[in-house]
Structure 1
Amino acid sequence: MRTTTKRYVESILRDYPYLDKYIKEREDELMYPVQEPDDNIGGGKGSKISKPQEQMIITLDEDKRLNALRRQQRVIDDCLDDSDDITKTIARELYFKDHPTYTMTGLSKKLHYSTARLYRIQNKFLNKVAKKLNIYEP
């Protein structure tokens, strides 16, 4: 995997604990947009759908940013569900903590695995996430 792709996947993993918050914020932005004052007095008809609930559902379903956040969360959840405890520990310690307490060397001592083996497990997980996100480049 290219280094840039690996770094991008790692940044997505670091954002994972905050994805619920990001999704909620984006939904709120879409549901309660900033209203521009209308200077047109009397004006003509608008082209918007007359049913605001339907318009909101369409807006939420079609928003690219919101869909990307949901997809990232779903992919990471799926990859974690399919992973063993060692992989989950690596992900939790290296990516999901605000201030990681371990490096890969520290994890190898804690988990009683060689550093090389932990790097292979980490790379396998990163490749899996990248493939499911369709950003994998060998």
Structure 2
Amino acid sequence: MIQQLTKSRLLELEEDFKEYQQVNYNIAVRVVSLEHPWTESDSNTGGGSSGVIIKPQEILAIKKDEDKELQRLFKLKADCERAIDKMSDEQLEMYNLRFANSDYLGWYEIADRLNYSVRSIYNKRYKLLELLAVEKGLTSSE
């Protein structure tokens, strides 16, 4: 049984595609904040010693693996890329007009530009967003 996507879920999927436009930047910012966290100055200049020696690269790798926001961004990027790879030429054109275009066209403008009725463009929008829903595991493609 195919699960229908609600209006609110469709809006969330649109937000995911919008966020995807800056995902590489957001990942880079998050990585920098993990690599160079703000810390108060340490008054214990002599330092203590730990019984365990861990290389800074290992600590950073662990921080990245355990950082929920960074992992969410990586998952968003992967899900969106898989959905985009499965888009038809028509869906890709719609995607580019809606999300990758600096003008950020609305669905009415896209319908007008592609010579579709508003009802037709919303049906096509549903199918486009459904691709992402499948990649995110929110619905099945059957």
* TM-score bracket relative to the smaller structure: 0.7 to 0.9
1:126 paired residue number: 129
Which 10-residue stretch deviates more, 110-119 or 63-72?
110-119
What TM-score, normalized to structure 2?
Answer: 0.80
2:88 partner amino acid: D
2:62 paired residue number: 58
1:26 paired residue number: 30
Sequence identity (%): 24
Q: Where does structure 2 lack aligned partners over 5 or more consecutive residues?
A: none
Paired residues in the alignment total 135
1:73 paired residue number: 77
| Deviation string, structure 1 residues 51-83 (Cα, Å, up to 9, x no partner) | 111111121222111111111111111111111
Contact 1:13 1:96 in 2 (8 A): no
What TM-score, normalized to structure 1?
Answer: 0.82
More helix by share: 1
Contact 2:98 2:110 in 1 (8 A): no
| CA pair 112-68 structure 1, distance change in 2 beyond 3 A | same
Which 10-residue stretch deviates more, 1-10 or 63-72?
1-10
Per-residue deviation at 1:135? Answer: 4.1
1:94 paired residue number: 98
- Let me know the Cα RMSD of the aligned residues: 2.2
